[in-house]
């Protein structure tokens, strides 16, 4: 495959660039750590391709934090798992970013279980050690539990989890001390587990709960949260969905956004949020309480 061939090539220096990185190429004269940061910001394919630019560049991709975005790596999904596994084997880590979107609606239950096992193995690899950003999405509603390894990655700063199930046992005792942004989209999680997850994020600044189920009430007690967004809509008529949001103590909260549709029923109760500046609601079924003062919204 093109990318794999390029990753393994040991090409000679292109015209105008010497073996020591000199010549007309001024970029190659930058320090290794700066070049590594540049490579980490590139799409995965382009980052790997820098190995064939010159001998000066050959070690840089493997010595830079790994940015592994699985979107667009290959044209056929059947090839993707092999390519990702080889990248994780060839790169020593640490990982900076990992993005994986599984969108095969024709996948069988066996294939989904295999995918979950493979994902768990990937997230345990040395190449994704100290992962800072994770964006993980499955294709079907609640079909698979979130991989245990993604929940034990304590160095995360940004996490987006989509279409996963969070069994209560998976979140017990877990903390995310560096997590600043958390998005849960179309997930199933119990009220107890949701509160446990939020309380285990002492540095959390931005929280988005989108179209998720399994809980009817969300209570916020956070010294760090600055922004909260919720959409109470969820798939399935029998799913338990959010109906009450209680801000018990959020001294840094500035934005509270109800992102639902006009028919969504949500009761927002603000007990203590002294810095709240923005309150957005889109539903004429929204009821907002500030302490003992109740406001019924009429649009």
What is the pLDDT at residue 57? 73
- Of 287, 229, 299, 288, the residue nearest 259 (C-alpha): 229
Contact at 8 Å (CB) between 123 and 93? Answer: no
CA dihedral defined by 85, 87, 88, 93, rounded to 10 degrees? -170
Count other Cβ atoms within 10 Å, centred on residue 189. 26
Contact at 8 Å (CB) between 234 and 211? Answer: yes
Does residue 143 form part of some domain?
Answer: no
- Of 165, 164, 177, 175, the residue nearest 197 (C-alpha): 175
Name the stretches of the chain with pLDDT < 70.
Answer: 1-26, 28, 31-32, 36, 47, 51-54, 56, 75-78, 103-107, 139-143, 151, 235-237, 261-264, 282-286, 291-299
What is the pLDDT at residue 295? 53
- Of 199, 243, 185, the residue nearest 218 (C-alpha): 243
What is the pLDDT at residue 259? 82
Does residue 71 form part of some domain?
Answer: no
What is the pLDDT at residue 17? 44
pTM of the model: 0.79
Strands 287-290 and 293-296: antiparallel
Does residue 76 form part of some domain?
Answer: no
Q: Based on the structure, what is the number of domains in the chain?
A: 1
User: What domain range is 12 assigned to?
Assistant: 1-64
Does residue 82 form part of some domain?
Answer: no
Residue in this structure with the two tokens 């004269």, named with its chain if needed? 29
Does residue 6 form part of some domain?
Answer: yes
In eight-state DSSP terms, residue 120 is H
Does residue 96 form part of some domain?
Answer: no
Alpha-carbon distance of 253 to 229, in angstroms, equals 11
Does residue 250 form part of some domain?
Answer: no
Does residue 83 form part of some domain?
Answer: no
What is the pLDDT at residue 134? 92
């Amino acid at each position: 495959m093109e990318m794999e061939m390029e990753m393994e090539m040991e090409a000679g220096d292109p015209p105008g660039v010497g073996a020591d990185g000199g010549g007309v190429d001024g970029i190659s004269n930058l320090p290794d750590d700066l070049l590594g940061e540049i490579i980490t910001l590139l799409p995965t394919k382009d980052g790997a391709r820098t190995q064939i630019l010159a001998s000066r560049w050959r070690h840089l991709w493997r010595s830079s934090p790994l940015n592994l975005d699985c979107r667009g790596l290959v044209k056929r999904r059947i090839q993707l798992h092999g390519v990702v596994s080889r990248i994780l084997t060839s790169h020593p880590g640490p990982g900076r970013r990992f993005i994986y979107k599984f969108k095969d609606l024709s996948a069988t239950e066996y294939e989904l279980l295999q995918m979950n096992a493979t994902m768990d193995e990937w997230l345990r690899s040395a190449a994704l050690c100290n992962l800072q950003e994770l964006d993980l999405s499955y294709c079907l509603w609640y079909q698979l539990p979130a991989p245990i390894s993604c929940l034990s990655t304590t160095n995360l700063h940004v996490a987006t989890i989509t279409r996963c199930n969070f069994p209560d046992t998976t979140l017990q005792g877990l903390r995310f001390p560096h997590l600043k942004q958390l998005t849960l989209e179309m997930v199933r999680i119990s009220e107890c587990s949701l509160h446990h997850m939020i309380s285990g994020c002492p540095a959390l600044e931005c929280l988005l709960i989108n179209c998720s189920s399994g809980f009817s009430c969300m209570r916020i007690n956070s010294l760090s949260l600055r922004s909260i967004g919720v959409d109470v809509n969820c798939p399935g008529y029998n799913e338990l969905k959010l109906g009450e949001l209680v801000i018990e103590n959020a001294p840094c909260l500035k934005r509270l956004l109800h992102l639902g549709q006009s028919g969504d029923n949500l009761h927002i109760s603000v007990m203590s949020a002294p810095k709240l500046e923005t309150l957005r609601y889109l539903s004429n079924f929204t009821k907002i309480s500030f302490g003992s003062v109740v406001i019924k919204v009429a649009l």
